[in-house]
Structure 1
Amino acid sequence: MAWRDGRASGKRLLLFMASIVLGIAAVVAIQSFSENLKDNIGLQSKALMGADYLIDTNQPPNEKVLAIIDSLGGADGRAVSFASMALFPKNGNTKLVSVKGIEGGYPFYGELETVPKNAARSYQELNGALVDATLMLQFGIQKGDSIKLGKSVFPVMGKLLSAPGSNGIMASVAPLVVVPYKSIKATELIQTGSRVGYDFYFVAKPNQDLEALNTKVDPLLDAENADLDTHTSTGQRLGRRYENFGKFLNLVAFIALLLGCVGIASSVHIYIKEKLLSVAVLKCLGATRKQTFLIYLIQIAGMGFLGGLMGTLAGLLLQQSFPLFLQDFLPFEVQITISPQPIVIGMLLGVLMSVLFALLPLLRTWYVSPLQVLRIQENGSLNSKKADILVMFGIMTFILGFSFWLLQNWKYALSFVLGILVVFSVLGGLATIFMKMVKKYFPSSWGFTARQSLLNLFRPNNQTMVLILAIGVGTFLISTLYFSKDILLAKTSLEATAQTPNLILLDVQTEQKQDVAHSITKSGLPLINNIPIITMRVQNLKGRPVNDIRLDSTFTINRWILNHEFRVTYRDSLVASETTDTGVWPAKINEAGIIPISISDNIARDAEVGIGDRIQFNVQGVLMQTEVAHIRSVDWGRMQINFSILFPSGVLENAPQFHVLTTNAPDEKTSAKLQRTLVKQFPTVSVLDLRQVITLVEDILDKISWVINFMAFFSILTGIIVLIGSVRTSKYQRIKESVLLRTLGGRSKQILQITALEYLYLGILGSGIGIILSLVSSQLLAMFVFKTAFMPSLVPFLVVLPGITGLVLLIGLLNSRSVIQSPPLEVLRKEAGGG
């Protein structure tokens, strides 16, 4: 019976099925790609590091670190890395690059991919350089040309295509240049304040337990401001970094699936309503409740199975495109394979979600009375409230459980479900209020077509609720994502004023400060900032030595506070990105000579300190006792130099320090000219062009927003499928209305106008509510997450609102065309024949 009845209603069931195909396709595609990514990271973790494990430190290794390295058999390879300006004598161009000096056989896994291939081996013997291929193309550099780093000139041995751990995003800011380790000292680029990384690479011994090694050695290295990383732990960190982005995309895809399920619930509601008479007849012939219920349950489950199968196949095809637009974010090439887990998930989701969301309307078949054959009523069967509550509880439990499976965090899963409930409730509530308001304040004085279009919004079998939900949630997603992108770009953009720095000069030594400043002003540019920076570490925190705290397992202080080398400055005022939380700045030095300091709120939180607490710093060998006198919030997202710790003036002026100078270049030509001048005169000074960084941020946000909007598009597309399915399902109801209207003298043009106005109302209402909800959510994001002002863009109002409204109108008219074109006599014959 399920097969026979389903075959007669095949077209309708196909449209029901299409409601969930897109959502499942999105979930399967992302799940499958995430599994592939995890497998690739696991397989390539050694190639990503280039070794089995490494010891790294951002200062020259002391005797204890060297002793630990020797106890492990000595390093098989080592490297030193830092940022510096490079000069190409061929054309005078300059560029901030990432310099890496290598010694030994590194990389031991993977390879330095170069053109020509032998350059990866010959550069060490010939004291040459491997230069990033894109950088060489940008500046027209060929093999045999030279590159100047500091006071040394290296011949370019070849193009560097890839290296362990490198990716396209980092190469955009500071492309990689590889030179021999032994040649670094001659460049004289490592100066006071230089950010330098020292890496010692190891190849594991046969059957060596890297996890046990990490557990034993890493705490010893932490005490010496060094660290041990294994290839497995590095791979896990890398995996978590991309896993969070994947989880977010999964939620977007899951929302598309939920929309499809809402469409199923609505479509099945109308479909079952038309089948109630058949159910009553079957019961008159002796069919049991269970039999009649199972007939339609099997139909829906079969539809879900086919939908899951089709969605799974579509998702596996869709994931093939992911590496094309995510490759720049990945330090390796992803090999796509078919993983069984997403396939099983897709199939199960298709059946479970279809059945769960169809249960409420399906329960009506259980409570249909055989007398329904004789006594036709609009509300002929009423469900048991207890059964309805159980079904709703099952749906919410499943959504919460699936959300937890995606996020692996009950707090986030519950927040997501509550957020979905709020959005759906607001949309559903407003739709209900809208229908009641139209009914209560019906404009009787309007023309016939306008009145009839409004009547359709609250007539039996109306589509108002489901379409507003589908259109509203899809619009809400796309608009929120667009507004969020605007917030992020606004935080990174530079104000177009001559006093806003867009060039930052790093690692300026004290003896160079005056000459560098003179070079800037001589070029006709303003010297905006001259910021002194002193490096220091925490020696004693609230009366306890740092080493004691490290060994105390009961302490909850964040470990980075204990190991970090802080870069601090001194001044008696706050800047635009800082606001006072508690305390007063500048503070006065107390009688005991304890130095007052200002710390950022994140330092106060992670170090668990407040006003009046003492912190002792080791300022390059000199111990300095300080007291927290001021706590401030810092907007780290602003493109300017910010500090977590401030000292008052008159304390650190004679401490070993370096400087950061800033200026504003009005255009790229002026910026390039100044950079060439500075690199020639001061090769150890690095110049960061903020415009390049902002361009990079914009490119990253564009790529991420493209991916997110692509997934959000599934929600809109699902809404469209729901729309088509709802129109098709209520087709016969429309035909009856058409016959009545035509019998009463209505023309096709009038019926077309009625349909057009109805879908125009639905499109405007659904997309309008979605955009308003996105404004509210974006304001909350700006206040509590990004902590910045929110200036909404007009694009969602000018593009999304009319675009989606027009789409809804077009699809509504196309799907109603057959209703309008059906001759009344043909319809009457079909009705008489039971068709």
Structure 2
Amino acid sequence: MHGTIPTSGTPRQPRRVPLVLRLALRELRGGLSGFAVFLACIALGVAAISGVASISRSLSDGLGREGQRILGGDLAYNLINREATEAERAALTREGRLDTVALLRAMATAPGGDAALVELKAVDPATYPAAGDLVTDPAEPLANLLAPRDGVPGALADPALLTRLDVKVGDRIALAGHDVRLRGTIRTEPDKIAGGIGFGPRLLVSDATLRATGLVQPGSLNRWSYRLILPAGADLDAAQARIKAATPEAGWEVRARTNADPRFAKSIERFTQFLTLVGLTALIVGGVGVANAVHAFVERKRPSIATLKSVGAPGSQVVALYLTQVMLIAALGTAIGLAVGASLPFVLDALFSADLPLPLNPTLAPGELALAAGYGLLTAFAFAITPLGRAHDVPVSGLFRDTVDPARVSPRLRYRLWLVAALALLVALSVVTAFDRRVALIFIAAAGIAFGLLHGVALGLMALARRLPHPRRPAPRMALANLHRPGALTPAIVLSLGLGVTLLVTLSLIDANVRRTISASLPARAPNLFFLDIPSREAARFRAFLGEAAPTGKIEEVPMMRGRIAALKGVPAARIRPPEDAAWVLDGDRGITYADALPEGSTLTDGRWWNAEEGREPLVSFEAELARQLGLKVGDAITVNVLGRDLTARIFNLRRVEWRNLGINFVMVFSPGTFRGAPHSDLATLTLPGGTDAAAENRILRGVAKDFPAVSAVRVKDALDAVGDLVGRLVLAIRGASAVAVLASLFVLAGAIAAGHRARLYDAVVLKVLGASRARLLAAYAVEYAALGLVTALFGLIAGSLAGWVIVGSVMKLDFRLDLSGALAAAAAAVLFAVLLGLAGTWRILGQKPAPYLRQF
């Protein structure tokens, strides 16, 4: 037998690092020169994605950790328009310590007659808050602050109410005709998030004060929340099951500390997805910078590649060597981005913890960070493999003479398949991890179309430049040639600048249309005032009052109750999984009404309206689009819980509703016989001729507060201001995230210009030897960059306008108006920036002496 058999005493050889990795690490010892843009693009995109994901995770963890405080207890049982019965309260009290909170809207009136809508909250001072801390100024026990003194009960107010009514702590204000004294202000309210968005400042009173005002009456709009603190170690699910068994007909809306505010949590997930897609846009835009940087890297390494191939290195090993280098650098950029993104929640908590309205629990999110790293590395691989793959089959002679005779080689099929695989993985990651997969697919399709169109624009511009007649003057002639010559910057600049301008124009149009809708379009046709909780026994007197106060105004009045959908076609609402766009209909209570005739602003799409005889039966008219999403049709049964009773009605017709005029309308309109004899209040609107009239509105508000203290009035302008403030904050967050994508575009643009450095240097040296002046060369480059900027700006205006039209009209369901004032400014700035950046990149080239470079070419 030949050979030797190793024995146990033979030392094992150390494992050698693979040759490709050793060579890659050795070449990287020379530094990362030329990879600044590459690192910046990868780090910026990964930082955006990981930062958004980390903050979202921290918010979700904060909501989970602070669930008891946000909810006000371990369990919250909510009722609309009625209080719990003694039996229902007893069932709750058996499980733990009970805290009762009443929430409703009311009018507060200052001594001078000024009135303001308040979000009234009535609590038991002995038990509130059951969880968390109420911070007041002055810091006294709540019972002392709310207790009557000299026959006048106390109240605590949001500081905004003091400003709105021009009062101070110690003053009296009237609440439904009953005086309360402002004893202090609310600095921190532990369960504020669970209350949702309010249209007025908070006013906190005792439950005894609320009852003395007479605001709680049959049919009035109020919400009763019964918060339970369970004994230590108690089982949440078991407690819920016992309460449900004891109160089967109560019609509770139940929340647990583990899911204190599911609507808010869903909103966080939706907004996180949007910002993540914006971050992914930045990363994909940065991918163009990666491709440019890798292309420039291959250009610099041609002598090394030629040497390796001339000594026998196969093309696949050459590609593997430089791909390893590129991915090591991408890993470094990814690590930088992850470090920045992971630190963002901790930075926010350290700097703004006292000002944040939401509970933030800074934490490292390994899953989210791993996802962001996957995005970064896949993007780097996808955009690097094609430029590197072209070196596989270029002959050695072609590599050496590439400066004067560039080789045109397409990458092999294997590299194109790797590219397809990387892009497929990126798409899969985006879709699988998305909160709304439809939105993710739309984004991917839009990104693909944008890349394809921009590539087509670049090729079309190059083809046009080849066919145009050559100008006589040298500068335009050279500029025209630069647009289509081999190695031209046209594709890279058109792609990077075009994406940036498109994004800027889209955001500008969305911002302009949303703000126009809120501040201009809606108030012009919407009612001036909404009146809530009009007692049905006083409806005629109230209508007469409005007729005298505004004889030329338009008055609409309908009965209104609150109800919650309990079942659809016999299936309990808790078991239905509706589409995201329709989930809100089943989540919580809805305003409902009954009517003899089709409401104004509605159009029947299926069926007909009931007649007087048919209206005696329990029938319902349902909004058509929501019915489609919920799978409902004429004849189906709907069960609603109103005042603790389940009532089933049959869908008699479907109708389309024009919501944007802010008139009175409802998802569900019932036949009059459905709620015959049920207690209710009325809802009314007043529309003044000529639009907003602050003086007339204030006069009417003061009259309502004086003569109808139980009626709550909402000024449409105040409601729109509240919505506008919320939209403004969202737009600010969108702008911040989009700025990352725009910044990536600028990096890519700078990288594209840097990538063309070698070719520009060669041109400049040759032309200077032939007698071209620096001014003439600068003029040629200025014309070239201006032409590229103008073409991409025009594309950005068209593509951004189309994208804005689709988003505003189809997604936001708003009227779209082409307002290009901000968009034109963004496009002009992009053209100017392209010219200035291009000239700045060539200035240093034009100052070089020709002799040293002539020896290299």
TM-score (norm 1): 0.88
Q: Structure 1, residues 183-228: CA drift from partner, whole Å, max 9, x if none?
A: 2211011234322111111111221121344466458767422122
Looking at structure 2, the residues matched to 539 and 717 of structure 1 have their Cα atoms a distance apart, in angstroms, of 47
Aligned to 2:35, the other structure's residue is in SS state: helix
Q: Offset at 1:412?
A: 4.1
Q: Extract unaligned runs of 5+ from structure 2.
A: 1-22
* Matching of residue 479 in structure 1 with residue 505 in structure 2: yes
Following the alignment from structure 1 to structure 2, what is the Cα–Cα distance between the partners of residues 538 and 824? 82
Residues 230-272 of structure 1 show CA distances to partners (whole Å, capped at 9, x for unaligned) of 1111155533321221121111011101111121112212331
Match of 2:462 among 401, 422, 435: 435
Deviation larger for 724-733 or 249-258? 724-733
Note if 1:509 corresponds to 2:535.
yes
SS at match of 1:662: strand
Is 1:635 the equivalent of 2:658? Answer: yes
1:21 aligns with 2:43: yes
SS at match of 1:804: helix
Distance 2:277 2:215 in 1: 47
- Picking from 182, 199, 211, the partner of 1:185 is 211
SS in 2 for 1:723: helix
CA displacement 1:113-153 (0-9 Å, x = unmatched)? 10111143423444421111232244343332223221432
Residue 356 of structure 1 corresponds to: 382
SS in 1 for 2:572: helix
Q: Which residue of 2 aligns with 1:581?
A: 605
Say whether residues 1:11 and 2:33 are aligned partners: yes
Q: Does 1:707 align with 2:726?
A: no
Do residues 695 (structure 1) and 744 (structure 2) align?
A: no
Query: 3-state SS of the aligned residue for 2:139?
Result: coil
Range with greater deviation from structure 2 (323-332 or 53-62): 323-332
- In 2: Cα distance, 1:425 partner to 1:682 partner: 64
Residues 468, 121 of structure 1: alpha-carbon distance in 2 compared, 3 angstrom cutoff: farther
Paired residue for 2:172?
A: 146
Q: How does 1:254-403 map to 2 (within 5 A)?
A: 254-289=280-315, 291-316=317-342, 331-334=357-360, 336=362, 349-372=375-398, 378=405, 380=407, 382-403=409-430
Q: Which amino acid aligns with 2:719?
A: V
Q: Does residue 97 in structure 1 map to residue 118 in structure 2?
A: yes
Q: Deviations over 1:58-117 (max 9, x none)?
A: 1222466345324425x521111111111233x433211111111242212211110111
Unaligned runs of 5+ in 1: none
Aligned ranges for residues 192-211 of structure 1 at < 5 Å? Answer: 192-211=218-237
SS in 1 for 2:260: helix
Distance in 2 separating the partners of 1:733 and 1:123:
78
Take 1:559 and 1:778, find their aligned partners in 2: how far apart are those partners? 26
Are positions 1:644 and 2:670 aligned together? Answer: no
Within a 5 Å distance, the mapping from 1:718-757 to structure 2 comes to: 718-757=744-783
In 2, distance between residues paired with 1:510 and 1:115? 40
SS at match of 1:706: helix
Shift of 1:465: 1.7
Change (3 A) 1:268 1:567: same
Alignment pair present for 1:41 and 2:46: no
Matched, 1:112 2:134: yes
Asked if the contact 1:280/1:368 (under 8 Å) is kept, the reply is no
The alignment partner of 2:554 has SS state of strand
Corresponding residue SS for 2:191: coil
Check conservation: 1:479, 1:771, Cα contact below 8 A.
yes
For residues 366-390 of structure 1, give each alpha carbon's deviation from its aligned partner in whole angstroms, at most 9, with x where no partner exists: 3343444676585647455421332
8 Å Cα contact 1:759-1:809 kept in structure 2? yes
- In 1, are the aligned partners of 2:71 and 2:191 still within 8 Å (CA)? yes
User: In structure 1, how many angstroms separate the alpha carbons of the residues matched to 2:493 and 2:441?
Assistant: 26
**One-letter amino acid of the counterpart of residue 69, structure 2:** A
Match of 2:786 among 746, 754, 760: 760
The answer as to 2:600 corresponding to 1:600 is no
Aligned partners of 1:589 and 1:596 also within 8 Å: no
Please tell me the residue identity of whatever aligns with 1:143. Answer: V
Using the alignment, how far apart are the partners of 2:351 and 2:657 within structure 1? 34
Aligned twin of 1:662: 685
1:155 is aligned, of 160, 164, 181, to: 181
**Partners of 2:588 and 2:333 in 1: CA distance:** 54
- Contact 2:616/2:674 (<8 A) preserved: no
Greater Cα offset, 457-466 or 315-324:
315-324
1:447 to 473, 479, 490: 473
The one-letter code matched in structure 2 to 1:105 is: T
Cα–Cα, structure 1 residues 614 and 698, in superposed 2: closer, same or farther, change >3 Å?
Answer: closer
RMSD of the TM alignment (CA)? Answer: 3.7
Q: Which amino acid aligns with 2:741?
A: S
1:413 aligns with 2:440: yes
Q: C-alpha offsets along residues 470-489 of structure 1, whole Å, 9 cap, x if unaligned?
A: 22222222322332233433
- Deviation of 1:798 after TM superposition, in Å, equals 2.4
Contact kept in structure 1, 2:619 and 2:670, CA below 8 Å: yes
Distance across 1 between alignment mates of 2:305 and 2:641: 84
Report the 3-state secondary structure (helix = DSSP H, G, I; strand = E; otherwise coil) of the residue aligned with 1:141: coil
Structure 1 stretch 238-247 or stretch 288-297: which is displaced more? 288-297
Match of 1:632, SS? Answer: strand
**1:315-374: CA deviation from partner (whole Å, max 9, x where unpaired):** 356556767999999643535455555655555554443233211212233334344467
Whether the 8 Å contact between 2:58 and 2:363 is mirrored in structure 1 is: yes
Give SS of 1:95's match. Answer: strand
**Comparing 672-681 and 343-352, the one that deviates more:** 343-352
- Give the number of equivalent residue pairs: 822
Q: Deviations over 1:418-446 (max 9, x none)?
A: 2221221122222222222332x313246
The 10-residue stretch of structure 1 (555-564 or 667-676) with the greater mean CA deviation from structure 2: 555-564
Deviations 1:556-614 (A, max 9, x none): 898966985652142534534x3332234x55456896576532115534664423556
2-structure distance, mates of 1:391, 1:453: 37
Structure 2 counterpart of 1:164: 190
Distance, in Å, in 2 between the alignment partners of 1:446 and 1:9 is 46
Q: What letter is aligned with 1:739? A: V
For the structure 1 residues 789 and 707, does the alpha-carbon distance in structure 2 shift closer, same or farther, using more than 3 Å as the test? same
Change (3 A) 1:64 1:635: farther
Task: Provide the rounded CA distance (Å) in 2 between the counterparts of 1:592 and 1:98.
Answer: 36
The amino acid that maps onto 2:463 is K
| Number of the residue aligned with 2:103 | 81
Paired with 1:699 and 1:778, the residues of 2 have a C-alpha distance of 21
Whether contact under 8 Å (1:536, 1:617) holds in the other structure is no
**Structure 1 residues 140-149 or 162-171, which shifts more?**
162-171
Q: What amino acid is aligned across from residue 541 of structure 2 in structure 1?
A: D
**Cα deviation, residue 12, structure 1:** 1.0
Matched residue, 2:10: none
Q: Give me the whole-angstrom Cα distance separating, in 1, the residues matched to 2:309 and 2:835.
A: 42
Distance 2:619 2:263 in 1: 38
**1:427–1:380 Cα change, 3 Å:** closer
Question: Does the Cα contact within 8 Å between 1:503 and 1:687 map onto a contact in 2?
Answer: yes
Q: Separation in 1 of the partners of 2:660 and 2:355?
A: 20
Provide the residue aligned with 2:633 in structure 1.
610
Q: Is the 8 A contact 1:478 1:709 kept in 2?
A: no
Partner of 1:76, secondary structure, is strand
